[in-house]
Amino acid sequence: MVDLRTHYMGLVLDNPLIIASSGLTGNPEGAGKAAAAGAGAVVLKSLFEEQILAELGKETEGVDLDAHPEAEAFMSRTAWEEGSDAYLSLVRDSKLRVGKTPLIASINCVGSGNWASFASQIERAGADALELNIAYMPDSPSISSKTIEDRVFSTVKEVRNSTKLPIEVKLGSHYSSLPYLAAHISKIGANALVLFNRFYRLDIDIDRMKLTRAQPMSDGNEYYDSLRWTAILFQRAGIELCGATGIHSATTMAKFILAGASAVQICSALYKGGWKTIGMMLDDLRSLMETQGFSSVDSMQGRLSAQSRGRLDEYMRFQYIKALTGIS
Ligand SMILES: Cc1cc2nc3c(=O)[nH]c(=O)nc-3n(C[C@H](O)[C@H](O)[C@H](O)COP(=O)(O)O)c2cc1C
C-alpha cells in the first residue's frame, strides 16, 4: 500500500496534490468540492492588498492596477469591491466545508505596509496557512533588482510579525538569484516557496493590430523551469518547495517529488478536466509509485535533486552544453 502523505510547512497532508488559488476556490462550495474530491490542501482565491487597505480606510483611488500582472485577469471589479470582510467570511465558511483538509488563504501583494497586519485576522478566521502571492511587476529601468528583492523581504517580514501561520511565498521566475532569495525568505520566516506563479500573458493580434490576452490556462509542457529550480533548491536553500505551473498529470507530479517538492499545485488541469481530475491524478500517482518501487512520498522526495546526485552542473550549464553539442 503506497503512503501518499507528505509533510509540508508543519502540516501533514493526506497527499501532495494542492488545489491552487483561482476562481474555482473563490467560494466555500468550490473549496468544499476540492476537499471532497481528495485534494491534499486547498488554496483560496487571492485577496488583493488594496482590498485590505480599502477596509482600513486608506485611499485606493488611483491604485495602479497595472502593477499587478494578474489584477485584470483574475478579479472582476465587483470582487475587488467586496473587500476584506467578505474574504474573512470566505475563510470561515470554507473552513467549515473542507473538514480536515488544510485550508490556505492567499494574499496577492506588491509590497509591504499596513495591510500585513490583516494576516492575524486570517489566522483567527481559521486558515491553516497563508500564501503570499508577491506579484510585483517592475516597470522602470531605475528600479534595481536589489530594490525589488528588498520589497519581497519586507513583505515577508511584516506578515511574519503579524501571524504564526505557516507562510508559503508564491513567486514568478524572474529573479536574479533565486537561491539567495529562497534562503533569505526562509531566514526571515517563510516556510515554503511555490515555484512558480504563471502571470497574465499578453499577445498581439496581427489582423486587428491590437493587444490581446494570451491563453490564460497552462498546458502540460510548461513545467520545465519550475522543475529545474525545484531540483536546484531542494535542501540547498533551507526552505520547503511546492511545484507549480504546467502540472497536468501524475507523471509530472512524480517528477516534482523526485526533484524535491513536498507538494504541487494544480489549476489549469482542473479547469480543463473538472474535479474528477484530482482522484485520477492520485490513482495514477499511486500506480506509478508502485511500478517504480516507492512505498511513500517521503522515500521518493528529492531522489533526483541536484543535492542527491551531487552534480549541480547537470542541472546548470553543463546540461545545456551537452544538449547543444549533441545536436548536429
Ligand atoms: C482563472 C485563473 C485565476 C487565477 N487566480 C489566481 C489568484 O487569485 N491568485 C493566485 O495566486 N493565482 C491565481 N491563478 C494562478 C494559479 O493559481 C496558478 O498559479 C497558475 O494557473 C499556474 O498553474 P497551472 O499551470 O496549474 O494552471 C489563477 C489562474 C487562473 C487560470
Indicate the pLDDT class of residue 78, thresholds 50, 70 and 90. very low
Would you state the pLDDT for residue 66? Answer: 47
Amino acid, res. 239: I
Q: Which CATH code of 3.20.20.70, 3.40.30.10, 3.30.360.10, 3.40.50.2300 fits the domain covering 6-325? A: 3.20.20.70
Atom of ligand 1 nearest to the CA of 131: 11
Q: What are phi and psi of 33, to 5 degrees?
A: -65, -40
Beta strands in 138-197 (DSSP E): 167-171, 192-195
What whole-number distance in Å separates Cα of residue 38 and Cα of residue 41?
A: 9
What whole-number distance in Å separates Cα of residue 226 and Cα of residue 244?
A: 7
State the distance from the centre of ligand 1 to the C-alpha of 12, rounded, in angstroms. Answer: 24
Mean pLDDT (whole number) for 18-44? 97
Higher pLDDT, residue 191 or 75:
191
Atom of ligand 1 nearest to the CA of 135: 11
Mean pLDDT (whole number) for 104-127? 91
Higher pLDDT, residue 273 or 328:
273
| pLDDT digits 0-9 by tens, 245-255 | 999 999 999 99
**What is the residue whose three cell numbers read 529562497?**
182
Would you state the pLDDT for residue 73? Answer: 44
Yes or no: say if 46 and 21 are a contact pair by the CB < 8 Å rule. yes
Beta strands in the chain (DSSP E): 6-8, 11-13, 17-19, 41-48, 103-109, 129-134, 167-171, 192-195, 202-205, 210-213, 240-243, 263-266
The reply to whether ligand 1 has any atom less than 6 angstroms from the CB of 197 is: yes
- Cα-Cα end-to-end distance for the chain: 46
Would you state the pLDDT for residue 107? Answer: 94
Would you state the pLDDT for residue 103? Answer: 98
Would you state the pLDDT for residue 12? Answer: 98
- For a ligand 1 pocket test, name from 47, 267, 270, 278 the mutation site with the most ligand atoms within 8 angstroms of its C-beta: 267
What whole-number distance in Å separates Cα of residue 276 and Cα of residue 285?
A: 14
Higher pLDDT, residue 61 or 271:
271
Percent of the chain past pLDDT 70, that is, above it, reads 87
Would you state the pLDDT for residue 321? Answer: 63
Mean pLDDT (whole number) for 301-309? 90
Indicate the pLDDT class of residue 74, thresholds 50, 70 and 90. very low
- For a ligand 1 pocket test, name from 21, 221, 225, 245 the mutation site with the most ligand atoms within 8 angstroms of its C-beta: 21
Residue 2's nearest CA partner among 327, 288, 310, 318 is: 288
Indicate the pLDDT class of residue 320, thresholds 50, 70 and 90. low
Q: Output the residue whose Cα is nearest ligand 1's atom 6.
A: 22
Would you state the pLDDT for residue 80? Answer: 46
pLDDT at 70 over 60: no
The reply to whether ligand 1 has any atom less than 6 angstroms from the CB of 220 is: no
The reply to whether ligand 1 has any atom less than 6 angstroms from the CB of 126 is: no
What whole-number distance in Å separates Cα of residue 205 and Cα of residue 185?
A: 40
The reply to whether ligand 1 has any atom less than 6 angstroms from the CB of 172 is: no
* 77-81, 142-146, 264-268, 292-296: least confident range: 77-81
The reply to whether ligand 1 has any atom less than 6 angstroms from the CB of 186 is: no
What whole-number distance in Å separates Cα of residue 119 and Cα of residue 225?
A: 30
What's the DSSP call for residue 20? P
Length of the chain: 328
Mean pLDDT (whole number) for 111-131? 91
CA-to-CA separations, 266 to 87, 173, 246, in angstroms, rounded: 22, 17, 8
The reply to whether ligand 1 has any atom less than 6 angstroms from the CB of 217 is: yes
Would you state the pLDDT for residue 55? Answer: 66
Mean pLDDT (whole number) for 143-148? 93
State the distance from the centre of ligand 1 to the C-alpha of 21, rounded, in angstroms. Answer: 6
All residues at 6 or more sequence positions from 241 whose CB lies less than 8 Å from its CB, including other chains: 192, 193, 195, 230, 233, 234, 260, 261, 262
The reply to whether ligand 1 has any atom less than 6 angstroms from the CB of 226 is: no
Mean pLDDT (whole number) for 271-300? 98
State the distance from the centre of ligand 1 to the C-alpha of 22, rounded, in angstroms. Answer: 5
Amino acid, res. 177: S
Would you state the pLDDT for residue 323? Answer: 66
pTM flag (> 0.85): yes
Residues paired with residue 171 on neighbouring β-strands, in sequence order: 195
Mean pLDDT (whole number) for 21-40? 97
State the distance from the centre of ligand 1 to the C-alpha of 325, rounded, in angstroms. Answer: 37
* 92-106, 131-145, 268-282: least confident range: 131-145
Q: Are strands 210-213 and 202-205 parallel, antiparallel or unpaired?
A: antiparallel
The reply to whether ligand 1 has any atom less than 6 angstroms from the CB of 21 is: yes
Would you state the pLDDT for residue 309? Answer: 67
**Three cell numbers, residue 167:** 507562510
Q: What is the mean pLDDT of the chain?
A: 89
Would you state the pLDDT for residue 79? Answer: 46
Mean pLDDT (whole number) for 20-34? 97
Q: What residue spans define the domains of the chain?
A: 6-325
Atom of ligand 1 nearest to the CA of 247: 26
